[in-house]
Every structure is written in structure tokens, then in C-alpha cells.
Amino acid sequence: MSTTTATSARRVGARSSRALGGVVAHVTLLALAAFGLLPVVVMVLTSFKPADQIFRIPATFLPENPTLDNYVRVFTDSSMPAALTNSVVAGLLVTVITLMLGGTAGYAIARMRFPGSGAVAVGLLLGQLLPVTVLLLPVFQIVVALDLIDTIPGVALTHLTIVLPLVTWMATTTFRGVPIELEEAAMIDGCHRLRAVWSVVLPVAAASIAALAIFAFIQSWNEFVFASVITRSLDAKTAPVALTDFAGQFEVDWGSTTAAATVIFLPLTIAFLLLQRYFVRGMSAGAVKG
Amino acid sequence: MRRRHAVIGAVAVAAALTLTSCGSGGDDAAGSGDVTIEWWVPNWDEEESRDLIAQFEEEHPGVTIKTVVTQWETMANQIRVALDSGDVPDVITELTSRIPNYARQDQLADVTDWYDDAMPRDDFYEAAVETASFDGVVYGVPMRWDAGSMIYNVDLFEQAGLEGPPATWDELIEAAQAMQELGVYGYGWPYGDPGNSRVRWLNAYYTHGGTFTEEADGSVTIDPAASLAAIEMITEGFEEGWVTPSSLEATNTDLQNLFMNGQLGFYFDGAYAVTPIKEAGVNVGTAMWPGPDGPGTVSADGFSYIVPAGAENLDVVKEFVQFLALPEHQALMTDTFPARYSAAEDERFSDELLQPFLEQHGEHSSNRPAYPGWEELIPTIHSALQSVALGDQTAEEANEAILEHAGQILRTS
Amino acid sequence: MSTIAGARPRRARSRAARTARAGWLLSLPSITVMVLLTLAPLVSVVIGAISADGWERLQQLIEAPGFTQTLRNTAVWVVVGTVGSLLVGLAGALALQHPTVRLTGLWRSVLLIPWITPTVVAATAWKWFYSRDYGLLNALLLEVGVVDEPVSWLTNTSIALYAVVAVHVWATFSFVMLMTSAGLAAIPAELYEAARMDGAGALRSFLSITLPSIRDILFIVTLIVTVWTLNSFLPVWIMTKGGPAGATNIVPVQLYQYFQLGDRTAIYVLAAFQLAFSVAIAALYVRQTRKEDAA
């Protein structure tokens, strides 16, 4: 008798605390979304304003006579379409290389206790700590020496500097977090280590690896400083650099800049929306049993 | 075994990276006697450049001009990195005031002798050629030279009962106060931008007769009285309320927008602003920007053709640059004004509104100093102006800070 | 890690050697790439900084007016920026985990947008947002009546730095959220169930299950965000260029100025300065993880 009421009381208590938690969670998410979207909304709305309305005082939120002129200009009379393609290709190239090199190195450091692994890990990290400003000239000279100026592989190479060490570190952490028993179980069953990793470890770490892939891609996508000196023509110009094409010495075409910026982030957001399933919660739930 | 495959795979990818490179297309000669010249052109000059290139190539068979288009935001970094690394083109259109930075590091070719009968030096604005020089040697051929003058709102002036634009500083303050009574601000300063801030200080400094004195020990001194007068001139009005407080975060473009919105009676800007302002429907007038007793002095800037030290085929490059520097071609290419007196007579610059600009940067302008350490003074001057405008410092204190820092870092070489 | 108790037979020893060699081979490509790209600059920075010219330049820099201010600003920038980013990101990740939240994919995509927006554009949009005359923020605040006069967000020396830090937090919290989220997703639901059965409340579950499980990823995320913040110059560069009156001048911004001037010695000295701090922080992190491995 009393046990049932106690349990049901606890369940009710649990349910209301869950509801409260839910409210807090949603409020947090809404606040974050507002914070995150506000300048972006300003940007998008500006892209629909004709040039003379952009700096109207007092500031108007919504465009009075919305126009598509800026977008037309971006698509027909600018370097943006080509630059977007370049950014996507460069980003994919960087992501693939980083996952392969960083993933394998991360696994090696995490699992194979080879002498000097600590030094390697730290050494990789050291390069990451240097500010871009200092790396600019030396990396540029390497790209010149390899004859990769104004090419997408050249851009991808420079992006490795800012992406590879971090991905290696994070991969190490990820693999360390996967219980070693999984691979051992698979290997006892006769698998080679590679097969064991492929079929057992990677699925468990999928969410983290997907996160690393996204990290690598976005870092490459956003990168401006290296790209601005490595690229010279539409052959390799990336999106962030192309954005500055609308800025002259004296005036900036803000309508086109904001339209182009919208064209940059919107498809990417949609792409990530579609890739969300790799973050399904509880994917690893079945892993550690017995 | 599998492991080795993985490793080989990784190495293969790295190798593939190198092999798939489509080279940047070096300037290989198509055949013996054929010359390719690489020219870095800013995107605002690109259209005009095409006609000129076609013309030059026709007159010089065997010569091909290849262009790489630069952009305002990224050109400084690109040029800096290219010159530092030695991977250089043959001709670059670059901001004249940045030339000494490269010349100091021996990265540019000496073009003093290029000013011959075909391209007489005295037809160029002397301040322009001086700004393109370093240590007595000329390193650039100016193609564009401009400063700024006063742009004012004719309607607001009429409303305030003013007869015309101010010709002296006192008249300027009167005009500003008249604007204040109308409910708008008199003018503003671009103190949101460090570079612009320094230019305003430099203009006021020159206007008050300031010079840069090279001492025997290699230091360069600033005239304290002129500097103080300069600071006072360009920070008064904040407290009194006839200078807009937005100045502290404004760039010149922001001031232009404020002016177009009818919030400023007048302001200092380049001639390029006249057309957009007219199109925005403002009844615009222009005049020279005054000093204490008459037109003030302005420091101008512009663009020049420079030749990196490692460029080849210098004789062809010289011909090309002299071709580009012809008066009629300068008049065609420039987005503001040319850098030669004869080019300035072109019909393109005959509009009445443009005359004050021509007169001010033709007769009342000075070159920009190029001493080592000069660039480093930018944040100090910027900071000083802002703190006085904010009321955090007196003009004397700010002046002290500038003089002290200048004393530490300004050198003749 | 699996260990073989007792003496190691020869077969196991050579196996260990093979594993070690394999480990090196797998890491080699990464090492090669990074060594090629960063070793030379690293060396030139160190050499340039400790040379005679370097010491002299360091002296000049320290004596220049505004140096203490720059240092102070940098400290504030790093601490507030990092902590802010971590807190906001963590809050987002935790909120996303709550069982009542549907459409987590949509939320996550929306909250990724700040990170996807190129910094150049984002900083400019924020600059407008903060503008005294055209800014939406002032317009809103005036409308609602919170303030009587427009606020000078970017030109008031006391608040400018924080205004720009907010932009940095805005640009980086998505990363923290993403990484922490992945870590949280790996926590088996059963652990929470079991805890609930035992009567643990939300706070207790958080402290004893959530935090320890994501500790590793939190550490590295903290390290990364700290280094990013320390090296970040674009938001300040675009919004205030170090003003007003040096109120937002931080070391990386100064470094970029020297780069544009071509002042090599100053670059080396300042970079070494920055590097020293980054290395100290990284060392802390490495020591922390080493301790855990031993445990």
C-alpha cells in the first residue's frame, strides 16, 4: 500500500520535475536561437533592401520595398557561384584528408602505445597554437614551391594547418572513450584489427566522427586569411574571399554582400539538417553489454 | 598487411595532392623573342585595362599582357606575401602610400630614370612622386591622386541663412553652429577608422605649418605646437555638440550616409562621393576644406604602378608603364583624378563640382611621410583623438603621448 | 588496456614491437604534413624572438604607451570569451539532450548557423547591430523604453570590449555545443535510468553521470576554445580596429597590424609572447590527461 503510493508519488514528482526541466530546456534553446539568429536575420533582411534603404535613419527592420536585385546580381554578375563550388570542393577535400590522416593517427595514439606517442601528440598540438598571421608567409612559400598557388588543392593544404592537429587530438579522445573490449572481442573472433575497427569501433564512435567531419568542413569553409593570399582567380577563389569582392576602396555594396552571405549559409544549413541522423541519441546504447 | 595498405593509401593521397596541381600558369615564353608581362590590376580598373592592353599588344607584337585581378580588401596582404616570398609579377597597381614599406625592404625596382622626355617628371604632382619615393629614389609611377574637400548640403545652408560655404576655420565653426540650431549636426570625423583618423590629424598638422624635421642622430621630430593645434582643431565641437558623437565609431562611409540622411551639414570626403550623394537626392555643393586663414592643406594618396625587384624584361615593362602613364590613358583609367597636370585638363574632370577638389589637391596638398615607425604611430594618434573627443584626456596630454611615442619610433631610416 | 600477466613470451614482445611500428606508420602522414607546415615558422618565431633584435624590440613594445592596457584587454578577452563560449555551448548541448525536446535535428541546425556564417560577414552584421545610429539594438531598446538615448556599444571605452567578446562567444558556442552534444550522445540511457531508480535527482545525475562522461571532451574543447580566443583577431579588427582609444586592442590584433606593416621582428616577438601562453595552457591540459591515463 504505502510502497505503491510512495512509488507513484515519486513518479509524479519525477514527471513534474521532468516537465520543469523541459520548460527550462526549451527556454534555453529559444534564447540561444534568438541570440544566434539575430544578426543573421539582420543580414538576410538587408539583402532584400535596395541600396538607398540600407542606411536609413531611423533603422528599419523590414525592407519597405523588398527587391531581388541583389540576389540577381550575385548569381549573374559576381564570382559567388564559382566561389561556392570551390569552397565545397576544398571543404570536402580537407574533410576527407583530415579524417583519414587524423583518424588513423588518433587511433594509433589512443590504442597503440608506441614510444614517443606522447611527444607526437604534443608536437602536433604545438603547431596548432601558432597564430595564422605567423604561418601565413611560410605556408605560402610551401604552396608556391609545390606550384599549387591559385588551386583548390593548394587551399586545402593550407587549411590542413588549422584543422589536422585538432582533429587528431579529438580523434584520440574519441577512440580512448570507446572501450577496448569491443575490438578485443572482435579480434578474438578472428577479425584483423582494421576490420574490427571498421565494423565495431567506428559505428560506436559515429556521432563523434561525424562531429569531427563537420568541424573540419566548417573550419575550411570559413577560413579567410590563407585563402585570400593563395587564391587569385575564379579557379580557386573561395566563398569568404569572394564576399569581399563587393567591397571597393570607398564604398561597399552591402546589398550584394548580404545576399551573397545568405547564399553561403542557407544551403549549408539545409545540408546539415539532412545529415542529422548521425546524431541520433543512444546509438551506442547497445555497445557495452556483457 | 591491412595496416600497410592503409598507410600506402594515405601516402598515395598526399602524393595525389601534389600531382593533381594545375599550375598557376607561369609566364613561359611562347617562343623565342616572345614576352609575357604579368600585371596585377585592381578590379575597379579592370574594364578600362582591357582596351589599353589590346592597344599595347597590337602596337607591340610578341608581347602578351596577362592580368591578375586584385580586390581592395585583400590586395595588401597578397602583395605583401608575394613580395616577401619572391613569387612576383612584373607590374602591380598599388596604393602609393604603401610603396615606402616595400622599398625599405629592397623589394622594388628603381624607376627614377623612367621619368624621361617621354614621361616628364614635372607634369606629375610632385607630392605624388615624392610619396612614391624612398630615400631619394623613386619606386613608382603615380596614376591616380586624390584627397578630399568639403561637401556641403546647399539646402541646409540656405535654411540656416548662410551665404555660402565657409572659407576660413572661424566661418566653418559658425556654419556648424548654424546647423546645430537647425537641429542637425555640423559635421563629423571618421574616428572609427584608425587610418582615416591619422589622415585627418596629418591634414590639420600640415595646415598649421607642421613639418617633419630630420635630426642629425637619425630621429625625426614633430613640431609640438603644430601638433597641439591640430588636435585641438579636430576635437573641438564634441562637447559643444556641433560634431556628431557618432564620429567615434564612424568610418568615412558612415559619415557619408549620415550626410545623405540629412544629419550633417557638411563633411570632408573625396570627389567619388559626389555622384552617389546627388543620386540620393541631396542638393550638394563642394568647396575647399578651410584652414585657419584660407584653404587648408590636405595629404593626398592614390595609386601607382610599381615594379617588383625580381621582374624580368624591364625594358618592355618600362614601355608598358610609360604607355599606361600617358595623359589620355591616365584620364581614362582613374576612378577619381589622374596624377598629371596635363591629364587633369581632360573633359572628364570639367564638372564644376569637381573643381574645388582639383584645386585643393593640386595646390594645397602634401605628401605622406614614409619614415619607419610612421605606420606604428597610427594607433597612438587614433587613440589620442578618440580619448580627447571622449573627454578622457586633454589635448595637451594626448599631444604628449603622440610626441613621446613618435620620439621613440620615428627614424629617418 | 589489456595486459598479459607475468613474463612476456618472445612472441608477445615482437608483437608489441610490430604494434609500435604500426603506430608510428599510421601517425607518420599526419606528422609529416604538420612538420612541413608548422615547424619552420615555429623555429623562426623562436629564433627571431630570442635574437638581439628581438630583445630590443620586446623592450620597445613593453615601453610603448598602451601596452599594459593591451595586456589587460587580452586577459579579459581570453577569460570572458572562453568561459562565455563554454557556458553557452554547454547550456545548448544539455538543453538538446532533454527528453522532452523534439526536432533536435532542427534545433541543432539552427544553432549551428553562427558557426557557419563567415566571420567577416558576421562581424559586420554585428557592427551594424551595435551601431549608434543605424543599429537595431538601440532601436529596439529605445522603442521598449529601456534606455533614453542611444547607447554607444562600440565607442564607450567601458563596454566596447564586452560587446566584441559577445560576438566571439556567438561565433564559437556552436562548436562547443556540437562537440559536447556528441559526447553526451554516447552516454548510455541505462545509466540515467539506473540512477533514477536509485532516487537521484536531476542535479545528482548531472554531477555524477554527465560531467564525468564528457570530461575528456570538455577538456579538449576548453583547450581549443582558449587557443582560438587567444588567436582571434577578426572580430575586433572588423568592428573596432582596436579602438576606442585602445579599449579593444588585444595582442592578436596588434600582431596582425605588424604583419601588414611587414615588421618582422615585432611579429616574432609578439608571436612568441602569444605562443608562450598557449603552450602553458596546452601543457596544463597534457598534464591533466597524462594523470588520467595513469589512473
Q: In degrees rounded to 5, what are phi and psi of residue B113?
A: -75, -10
ipTM score over 0.90, yes or no? no
Q: Which residues of A touch C180 (CB under 8 A)?
A: none
B342 reaches A (C-beta below 8 A): no
Distance of CA A116 to the CA centre of its chain: 31
* pLDDT over 90, % of chain C: 17
C182 reaches A (C-beta below 8 A): yes
Q: In degrees rounded to 5, what are phi and psi of residue B340?
A: -125, 145
Q: Which residues of C touch A109 (CB under 8 A)?
A: 23, 27
**Neighbours of C (≥3 Cβ pairs closer than 8 A)?**
A, B
The span from the CA of C232 to the CA of A229, in Å, is 19
Check if the beta carbon of residue A164 is closer than 8 Å to that of residue A173.
Answer: no
Mean pLDDT is highest, among A208-217, B281-290, B399-408, C269-278, for B281-290
Contact C290 A118 (CB under 8 A): yes
Q: What is the pLDDT, as a whole number, of residue A289?
A: 27
Domain boundaries, chain C: 1-50, 53-294
A194 closest CB neighbour out of B2, B20, B257 = B2
**Enclosing H/E stretch for A115:** none
Side by side, the strands of the sheet bearing B266-269 are B266-269, B149-153, B284-287
Q: What is the pLDDT, as a whole number, of residue A14?
A: 65
B275 reaches A (C-beta below 8 A): no
Over residues C247-274, mean pLDDT = 85
Q: What is the pLDDT, as a whole number, of residue B31?
A: 45
The span from the CA of B14 to the CA of B10, in Å, is 6
CATH architecture of B5-145+301-351: 3-Layer(aba) Sandwich (3.40)
- Distance from the Cα of C4 to chain B's closest Cα (Å) equals 23
Contact A273 C91 (CB under 8 A): no
Q: What is the DSSP letter of A198?
A: I
Class of domain B149-299+368-409: alpha beta
- Distance from the Cα of B149 to chain A's closest Cα (Å) equals 15
Q: What is the pLDDT, as a whole number, of residue C38?
A: 80
**Which A residues 269-288 touch C at CB under 8 Å?**
269-270, 272-273, 276-277, 279-285, 287-288
Check if the beta carbon of residue C65 is closer than 8 Å to that of residue B405.
Answer: yes
The DSSP secondary structure of B193-224, one letter per residue, reads SHHHHHHHHHHHHHHTT--EEEPTTSBEEE-H
- Distance from the Cα of A131 to chain C's closest Cα (Å) equals 6
**CA Rg value for chain C:** 24
- Distance from the Cα of C245 to chain A's closest Cα (Å) equals 24
Determine the Cα angle at B205 with ends B200 and B209, to 5°.
145
Please report, as a single letter, which amino acid is at residue B255. Answer: L
Name the closest residue on chain B to residue C24, using Cα atoms: B7
SS3 B284: strand
C208 reaches A (C-beta below 8 A): no
B194 reaches C (C-beta below 8 A): yes
**Which C residues 100-139 touch B at CB under 8 Å?**
131-134
The span from the CA of C131 to the CA of C153, in Å, is 7
Nearest to C278 by CA among C87, C45, C65, C62: C45
Residues sharing a CB contact under 8 Å with residue A1, sequence separation 6 or more, in sequence order: none
Q: What is the pLDDT, as a whole number, of residue B251?
A: 85
Over residues A80-88, mean pLDDT = 93
Q: What is the pTM of this model?
A: 0.80
The span from the CA of A140 to the CA of A148, in Å, is 10
Of residues B356 and A62, the one with the higher pLDDT is B356
Contact A25 C95 (CB under 8 A): yes
Does residue C36 register a pLDDT over 70? Answer: yes
The span from the CA of B90 to the CA of B104, in Å, is 19
Q: What is the DSSP letter of C246?
A: T
Could you read off the pLDDT of C190-236 as tens digits, one per residue? 787 888 788 777 777 778 888 887 887 888 888 889 988 998 998 99
The span from the CA of B370 to the CA of B155, in Å, is 41
Name the closest residue on chain A to residue B277, using Cα atoms: A52
* pLDDT over 90, % of chain A: 20
Please list the rounded mean pLDDT of every run of 10 residues in chain B (413 residues): 43 42 40 81 92 94 93 90 91 94 92 93 92 92 94 94 93 94 94 88 94 88 94 93 90 89 93 90 94 92 94 92 95 91 91 92 85 82 91 92 88 77
What does each C-alpha distance from B2 to A98, A101, A192, A195, B6 come to in angstroms? 20, 16, 8, 9, 6
The span from the CA of C233 to the CA of C252, in Å, is 5
Enter the C-alpha cell of residue B72: 581592395
Of A77-86, A122-131, C69-78, C179-188, minimum mean pLDDT range: A122-131
Could you read off the pLDDT of A127-178 as tens digits, one per residue? 778 888 888 888 888 898 899 999 999 999 999 988 888 888 888 878 887 7
Enter the C-alpha cell of residue A207: 556521432
Q: What is the pLDDT, as a whole number, of residue B22?
A: 36
Could you read off the pLDDT of A218-229 as tens digits, one per residue? 889 989 889 999
Does residue A1 register a pLDDT over 60? Answer: no
| CATH 3.40.50.300 is held by the domain C53-294 | no
Nearest to C161 by CA among C233, C64, C277, C244: C244
Determine the Cα angle at B207 with ends B205 and B211, to 5°.
50
Residues sharing a CB contact under 8 Å with residue A20, sequence separation 6 or more, in sequence order: none
Contact C245 B4 (CB under 8 A): no
Check if the beta carbon of residue A247 is closer than 8 Å to that of residue A142.
Answer: no
Does residue A2 register a pLDDT over 60? Answer: no
The DSSP secondary structure of B168-194, one letter per residue, reads SHHHHHHHHHHHHHHTSBSB---TTSH
Could you read off the pLDDT of A228-285 as tens digits, one per residue? 999 988 899 999 899 888 887 777 788 888 899 888 888 888 877 777 655 443 333 3
Q: Which residues of C touch A116 (CB under 8 A)?
A: 24
Residue appearing with cell numbers 605646437: B225
Contact B248 C244 (CB under 8 A): yes
Domain boundaries, chain B: 5-145+301-351, 149-299+368-409
Q: What is the DSSP letter of B90?
A: S
Strands B91-95 and B220-222: unpaired
B383, B387, B392, B394: best to mutate for the C interface, most C CBs within 10 A: B383
